[in-house]
Homo-oligomer: A and B are copies of this chain.
Amino acid sequence: MAAMSASAEEIVNEFLARVVVDVDAACELVADDIEYDNVPAGKSVGPDGVKAVFAMMSNGVEEMEFVVHRQLAVGDTVMNERTDRFRYGSSTWVDLPVAGLFVVGDDGKITLWRDYFDLATFMNQVPSG
């Protein structure tokens, strides 16, 4: 994919497809100073920030799926509603409703990723131990 010629929505779609399987490959699509804001949990900055949060989130997770239900794109901005799904063990899926915002810079790199969700909805479902 030639990022320079792709639309903001195409870049976000590619990012979301990558991030659930390979966060390093996904981070090829983010700006050096990307702000990654998990609204109830806090902000991190840069590809290393994204990778650190994903390392934490994927503790014990065998598989991830981000299911996009609706997505709007206007100019450099994309918003979507999703169910982010995390599999623990062989068959325990944790489903988290999320609304996401993405802003893509002129160079085709994502500069802002902000997710709105209810933290307790996630935490209360994560299997203990």
Which positions in A face B, CB cutoff 8 Å?
Answer: 39-40, 70, 72-74, 77-81, 97-101, 114, 116-121
Complex Cα distance, B99 from A70, in Å, reads 13
- Neighbouring B residues of A99 by C-beta, 8 Å: 79, 99-101, 116
- Neighbouring B residues of A114 by C-beta, 8 Å: 81
Question: Given A116-B116, A118-B40, A118-B117 in contact, is the A74-B77 Cβ separation under 8 Å?
Answer: no
**Partner pick for A118 among B72, B73, B81, B119, CB 8 A cutoff:** B119
Decide if A40 touches B79 in the complex (CB within 8 Å): no
Decide if B116 touches A117 in the complex (CB within 8 Å): yes
Chain B nearest CB, measured from A82 CB (Å): 10
Closest residue to A37 on the B side, CB-wise? Answer: B97
Find the residue from A39, A73, A100 having the highest chain B CB count within 10 A.
A39
- Could you list 17 examples of A-B contacts with CB < 8 Å? A39-B97, A39-B121, A70-B77, A70-B101, A72-B73, A72-B77, A72-B78, A72-B79, A74-B74, A79-B79, A79-B80, A79-B81, A81-B116, A99-B100, A116-B116, A118-B118, A118-B119
